[in-house]
Structure 1
């Protein structure tokens, strides 16, 4: 059962918590697992240095730069540059922006999640008696993070995506940097084979790996929400002392931007936009994608709604009772008796006026996630779609749609 209103801890040293259970500070979302160990063996990173800049440069060079070099000879044979590598928006979005963003996001995600988890203990939001249970939850998440089976599944799904891409190359009826069209059967170019065997699997694997690790974080938060929590209804953050958790999605802004670029490029290449685009249609597309992104992050945070509801209900009940006693005592002092009274004598204790606390508690929000605190990640989700839409609609209309979605 979650504590409703707990007194401030006495003689509590913040460092005592992390020293007692150091594993609580060891949920490093971007470390561990076979892929991390492989990169460490190749000296692409170190245990205490992810080196995201150099790794992003290397992976983008291999995933996007290598097909570019392999496609150069074939581009000269394409009529009017149709199907040329540099004009393929989907390739640029996935292999350049997407892969680069997924790697660059690793440091931001790791630092952001680690800070939020530490604050749960240092506040302390998690009651000291529940810290061993919290440590066990984190340890379980770490074991799943390092799972070979999970990353193998991500790899198999990436291979499946490559098989679909290969089938699509053979089904196309136009030549491009990736394939040469022949009536008797298409021939995949060297650049096309590289994208099938390396670039696309890397993009899909990095995305699935990042999404899987976020799922582990989500499950971890949902389990922590079941522990004894030291929440207080009158906390100035208006969310019982948990508002800092609602900001964690912003650590994924770069990751979301990379995925949004790939989705926006796919939408741009679809026949859906070729038939014409209106501001209403654009708003529907962007609001739909934004809803998916916010739901992705709302899932773990929704676990804290039940304890916040209990906190609000129990606090209002206690404050309401005290307000009745306080106001009746004040009434007796002013007019000598209570208007509604009985023969039972009432005590005359010195009570504090609970009015301000009652009003603050009444305004307590029981839903952590809202668009106002996740504007960075919401903007990262919408900007790629806005860039695509700007090629079809006046810039002012596109900007108006984006502003409405961000400020609603």
Structure 2
């Protein structure tokens, strides 16, 4: 309960203040950087306006709250009363909720579910917006130094979702810590479930970026042919000029711009061949992974007390 309502719930609230401006900047980048052509600008603006209207929809908020109470009812009142936590009960002979129990099922749990469902709605809108943008004829540059034809900025969305990922991981970590307190160790099944859940959460944030893979594949194919042919022609001319048997070479060759120009061209061509098919960079993946794993650090120290950790380290030295 402490992990859910003292850590995860505030993080879910703070995540909106951190995430929304970053996602807005990513969306604006398509227009500011000239990735959207003039022909598709109207479609792009309509997609952004529609998403913003749905995000601020009063009807969506009402549905989220109603669904939260529906899920709460299904979860709380379908659970056998002997499995209900002790602090939910009055302690009398007849099954009844205590004031703390009623507060949990009527206020705390619906509030947490509302936050979670609200973020589910936001993620669905984000994915739908990216899907609509990915259907446009974007002006991609295969030789772009970001390694993603100008779309690397999309990978920053994983960084924007890091606080949300930490909140979700805190819920899972809180459950794991409670099991360690009660049983003294984590069952293997629970460890596998928690690890799988974290992988699913990370994949959920990264999945919408795969909408751009088909256009990146086309950019790679087109760039490989075009820049590859250019590199071959320039390379052949360079070798013909400088590698001929009868071609005298003196110190003045070091002053010629041919070498630096050829090197620069080959660096550009190398960018094309190194084009990533998914606009995700390793730093963004690392930040998301750290956010998902950080709440489990206390769980590790609960499952493995400091004395055992120090004893293991000593065993490596002596």
What TM-score comes out, normalization by structure 1 length?
A: 0.63
Cα displacement (A) at 1:315? 0.5
User: 1:353-408 deviations in whole A, cap 9, x for unaligned?
Assistant: 7433222211111112255323333222112223223211256999xxxxxxxxxx
> 2:213: which partner in 1?
305
Cα displacement (A) at 1:170? 5.4
Of 125, 129, 132, which residue of structure 1 is paired with 2:39? 129
Evaluate the alpha carbon distance shift between residue 395 and residue 125 of structure 1 in structure 2; reply closer, same or farther with a 3 A threshold: farther
**Bigger shift: 321-330 or 237-246?**
321-330
Cα displacement (A) at 1:262? 1.4
**Bigger shift: 145-154 or 155-164?**
145-154
Q: Which has the higher helix share?
A: 2
**1:103 corresponds to 2:1:** no
Evaluate the alpha carbon distance shift between residue 243 and residue 188 of structure 1 in structure 2; reply closer, same or farther with a 3 A threshold: same
Cα displacement (A) at 1:181? 4.1
Of 148, 155, 175, which residue of structure 2 is paired with 1:266? 175
Cα displacement (A) at 1:202? 0.8
How does 1:60-75 map onto structure 2 within 5 Å?
Answer: none
Unaligned runs of 5+ in 1: 1-90, 337-350, 399-408
Of 26, 34, 47, which residue of structure 2 is paired with 1:116? 26
Evaluate the alpha carbon distance shift between residue 335 and residue 382 of structure 1 in structure 2; reply closer, same or farther with a 3 A threshold: same
> 2:292: which partner in 1?
381
**Bigger shift: 102-111 or 163-172?**
163-172
Of 143, 146, 162, which residue of structure 2 is paired with 1:237? 146
- SS of match in other structure, 1:237: coil
Tell me, in whole angstroms, the C-alpha distance in 2 between the residues paired with 1:98 and 1:294.
17
Tell me, in whole angstroms, the C-alpha distance in 1 between the residues paired with 2:70 and 2:278.
38
Unaligned runs of 5+ in 2: 247-260, 310-318
Cα displacement (A) at 1:209? 0.6
Of 338, 357, 362, which residue of structure 1 is paired with 2:268? 357
Contact 2:176–2:186 (Cα < 8 Å) also in 1:
no
User: 1:153-201 deviations in whole A, cap 9, x for unaligned?
Assistant: 322331123224532675226773221345x532211111111111110
User: 1:86-125 deviations in whole A, cap 9, x for unaligned?
Assistant: xxxxx21222222211111221112111111122211122
User: 1:204-258 deviations in whole A, cap 9, x for unaligned?
Assistant: 0111112211210111012111212222122221111111210112222222222
Tell me, in whole angstroms, the C-alpha distance in 1 between the residues paired with 2:308 and 2:30.
43
**1:146 corresponds to 2:56:** yes
Cα displacement (A) at 1:329? 3.7
Between 1 and 2, higher relative CO (CA 8 Å, sep ≥ 6) is seen in 2
Evaluate the alpha carbon distance shift between residue 126 and residue 272 of structure 1 in structure 2; reply closer, same or farther with a 3 A threshold: farther
Contact 1:158–1:201 (Cα < 8 Å) also in 2:
yes
Of 173, 185, 202, which residue of structure 1 is paired with 2:94? 185
> 1:221: which partner in 2?
130
- SS of match in other structure, 1:372: helix
Of 314, 328, 333, which residue of structure 1 is paired with 2:222? 314
> 2:315: which partner in 1?
none
Tell me, in whole angstroms, the C-alpha distance in 1 between the residues paired with 2:105 and 2:240.
84
